Chain A
């Protein structure tokens, strides 16, 4: 963040040179700033404030309780299982997504007739609503009339329809598969962008040096993909960590909290228990984790360097 280290005097002189003080900039950046402050920064602060209050189920602020809500959150017997689920959910989905996307991007970077159409097909789950995609999987996995169960019995994998969404472990597994399915398009395109940025000369030089295919891939291509992989991994971690619809639909009908992640738990507390104070405290914990990931993003990807 070397930009912030520029002495103020210099930047002021420069800005005067280009005819811009903060007041002159305000009509241009003001509306955007106002929207971000009112709808992103303010609710973040308000949420932190609410996490220290006792709030009735209809939303009335009763009194300040200090860190009581956090004490309740951390002594919650459901929390260990929920945190474990969250870690498994994020690690498995992101790892498998990135590995499969590396393979798929490598393939989609090779020329063949019809490649544009295949690339278009890969876009579909990215554009389509996650709720709708998940719904069709939920239907297909229904034990009696679900078409996936019918297919699995027809090809002999199953003897009879299996209730994928009835128990925590199979339901979580199925949610993981869906999350991978909807995360691959973005990840593949990010890696594809990285692949196209590798100069042809680099690859030809590797060939001239007699490197074999795997050697070229691991020693030449993969190191060049570091930037786009960092973007893909971090944005996937954020997206998967904060994903609500997939688990809500697939594991939502399972009683208790054995198939919940931090995010689905927050929404259950907020929607069904209507405990705004507790869900605020949970959200603050969640928000802190997200901010750490954002900090890593800013540090490794350095999106500020061209500003």
Chain B
């Protein structure tokens, strides 16, 4: 039983006690998603049956994962495509815009830099929900109402600050001397950024990319108001249409949710170790 020996040399009983408590904690946080998964495998009649069953009695209906793309409530396949397109484009835009800004502010002083970083911090604390009324009228006036482009811009703008902030702290940790040595060898600023810095700060970039992507993937408030055509809406908005219906196709709601949640959780787990570092820097929201 050597695995029960921990760094703080707790007694065997204490360690077992911690493991049991750990199991309970994990259960609390996972049960809703287990219910979701179990529900996604039930038939429509079973999930609406009174009284309900804890586990699928009629056998797991894996076919739900094939039939769920076609429901009368909302065009799920289109919603998934919208979610993917908006999240990918917004993340790409953030990466393109935030990387040079983070690099330059970490390396050089310039008049207005303090103002710029202050603006970034204020933006980081804002969410699209706070400004939705303004964004709604603005997108109407710009003829961007009900377009993917509007949501790409909104998602990118509101997640930009976090990306700038975290990449800034990573660039700042690369010694300036490395840059200067490369510049003496005749490399331009862009070359120094791409060849010298990016390979060193890629963990920061990965963290920024994953965080931005997840935030865009789950965005709800602005999409709800800006996107009115069912086909344009992301999954977060589309799924609310099932709620409150007389006989909701819950098995489909849950199947779609599982498909949407799993990739995001895997991405988040990839940066689990870095989350704590990022939070210590106060950069994660």
- Enumerate chain A interface residues (CB-CB to B < 8 A): 3-4, 8, 11-12, 14-15, 18-22, 24-25, 27-29, 31-33, 35-36, 38-48, 50, 55, 59, 104, 107-108, 110-133, 135-140, 144-147, 150-151, 181, 185-186, 189-190, 192-194, 196-197, 227-228, 231, 235, 238-239, 242-245, 248-249, 252-253, 263, 266-267, 270-271, 276, 279-280, 282-283, 286-287, 290, 293-294, 297-298, 301, 303-304, 306-307
Contact = CB atoms under 8 A, between A and B. Distances in A.
A304 B126 CA distance: 17
A63 to B, nearest CB: 16
Contacts of A197: 280
B25 A287 contact: no
A66 to B, nearest CB: 18
B135 A39 contact: yes
9 closest cross-chain pairs (CB), A and B: A47-B134, A43-B134, A39-B157, A28-B104, A121-B26, A112-B18, A127-B268, A32-B101, A111-B6
B113 interface: yes
A40 B161 CA distance: 11
A32 B239 contact: no
A301 B235 CA distance: 35
B26 A118 contact: yes
Interface residues of B, number: 113
A297 B121 CA distance: 10
Given A38-B157, A244-B220, A303-B121, A32 B110 contact: no
Interface string B248-281: 1010011001001100110111001001110110
- Main DSSP-derived SS at the B contact region: helix
Contacts of B131: 40, 43-44, 47, 283, 287
B269 A120 contact: yes
Contact of B264 (A128, A146, A282): A128
A67 B214 CA distance: 39
Contacts of A231: 279, 282
Nearest to A58: B140
A36 B243 contact: no
A231 B282 CA distance: 7
A121 B29 contact: yes
Contact of A20 (B109, B129, B165): B109
A110 B110 contact: no
Contacts of A145: 47-52
B14 to A, nearest CB: 9
B239 A135 contact: yes
B108 A25 contact: yes
A158 B96 CA distance: 55
B272 to A, nearest CB: 6
